[in-house]
Every structure is written in C-alpha cells, then in structure tokens.
Structure 1
Amino acid sequence: MIQVTVFRTDNQITSFKLSGHADSGPYGYDLVCAGVSAVSIGTVNAVMELFKTDLEIEQGAEGGYLHVKLPDTLEPEIMEKAQLLFEGMIISLQSIELEYSEFIKIVNK
C-alpha cells in the first residue's frame, strides 16, 4: 500500500511523504503506482520549474519512497502559488484513493 503523509503548519503544506508500493498490478502495469507517481512528480516538477526554486527532495534508491519539503525561505507570493499546486496534487491523490482505497491511503499531520 502507498501511504501519503501530508505535513501542515498553520494550514499550509510544509512537506509530503510517499512510502510503500501499491502492488495493484504486475510490475510495469500497476495503474495506481503510475497515477500516484505522475501526479506527485508532475507537481514537484511544476513547482520547481514555474517558480525557479529548489525543493528538498529525498528519494528511495529503488522507488517506494519520496519526501518533498518546501523551503522556509520562499517569498509569500511564491508560497501561496506553490500551496495551490500542492493542494491540487492532494485532490488528485484523493481521487485515486476514492477508487483504489485498498492500495493508497492519505494521512494529514
């Protein structure tokens, strides 16, 4: 199962962590894994490219782990826009969870 943990401070996303494997299909055909990966990596890439900022990213060598942290030094306007993109990511992941709850769980902390 993929566990998505969203960390918030003052109702703002400060970081998120993905861990585990969906195992909803054979390797290379796991739709849940593909969907979660596309949504999360796409959002991270969009934030970095659109706002020309580096995020603190930690990945597992063989997949199954991604931790992304927003820097504390982001300008308020950039932080607001990044929040919007990350909230959109969470909504997309919730849509996947709604259909495939046996393979993905989202936890807010």
Structure 2
Amino acid sequence: MIHVQIKRNSEGYITSFKMSGHADFANKGQDIVCAGASAVSFGSINAIMELTGVKPVIKQSNGGYLECKIPETLPSMTAEKVQLLLQGMVVSLQTIQQDYGKYIKITFG
C-alpha cells in the first residue's frame, strides 16, 4: 500500500508530504495506482519549482519513498501559489484513493 502523509501547520498550510510503500495493484510497469500517485506528486513538485521558483527540500529512494518539505519563509504571494499547487495534488491523490482505497491511504497531521 502507498501511504501518503500530508503535514499542515497551525494555519492549515501544507508544509510537507511523504509518500512511502508500493501499491501492489499490478506488476511493476503496469501498476496504474503507483504510476498515478507518482505522476501527481512529482508533477506537483515540478510545477512548484517551475511556476514559483521555490525549491523544496526533497528526499527520495528507489524503494518507493518521497519526502517534500516546503521552505518555511516565503513571500505571501508565492506561498499562496505553492499552496494552490499542493492542494491540487491532494485533490488528485484523494481521487485516486476514492477508486483504489485498498492500495493508497492518505493521512493528515
């Protein structure tokens, strides 16, 4: 199962997210749940970097682990753009979870 943990600060802003595990929906290369979750998360990180100029702290491994931390101090307009992109990512991951809940779980903390 893919576990996604979204962390928010006291104001409700997403400060980081972690993804770990494997969906095991299908064989490697044919797993649409893993491919979808990966595309959504990496696409969001790429969009943040390209569209806002913000460089998150990223940790990843070949073993199905991705961690993304957003810098704490950003200009308010930039922070709003980053949050919109991250909220879009959450909506997309929740859509995957609605259809494939046995293979992906999202938690908030």
Could you tell me the TM-score, scaled by structure 2's length?
0.97
Are positions 1:54 and 2:49 aligned together? no
Distance 1:108 1:52 in 2: 26
Other structure's SS at 2:59 match: strand
- Give the counterpart letter for 1:6 in structure 2: I
Aligned counterpart, 1:71: 71
Tell me, in whole angstroms, the C-alpha distance in 2 between the residues paired with 1:86 and 1:32: 19
Moved over 6 A (4+): none
Deviation (angstroms), 1:98: 0.3
**What's the secondary structure of 2:98's corresponding residue?**
helix
Which position in structure 2 is the counterpart of 1:83?
A: 83
- Give the share of equivalent positions with the same residue, in percent: 51
Q: What is the aligned-residue RMSD (CA, Å)?
A: 0.7
CA deviation after TM superposition for structure 1 residue 53, in Å: 1.8
Q: Deviations over 1:44-87 (max 9, x none)?
A: 00000111121100001x14100001001211110011101100
TM-score, scaled relative to structure 1: 0.97
Match of 2:35 in 1: 34
* In structure 1, distance between residues paired with 2:81 and 2:55: 15
Equivalents in 2 of 1:6, 1:33: separation in Å?
A: 17
C-alpha separation between the residues in 2 aligned to 1:3 and 1:65? 10
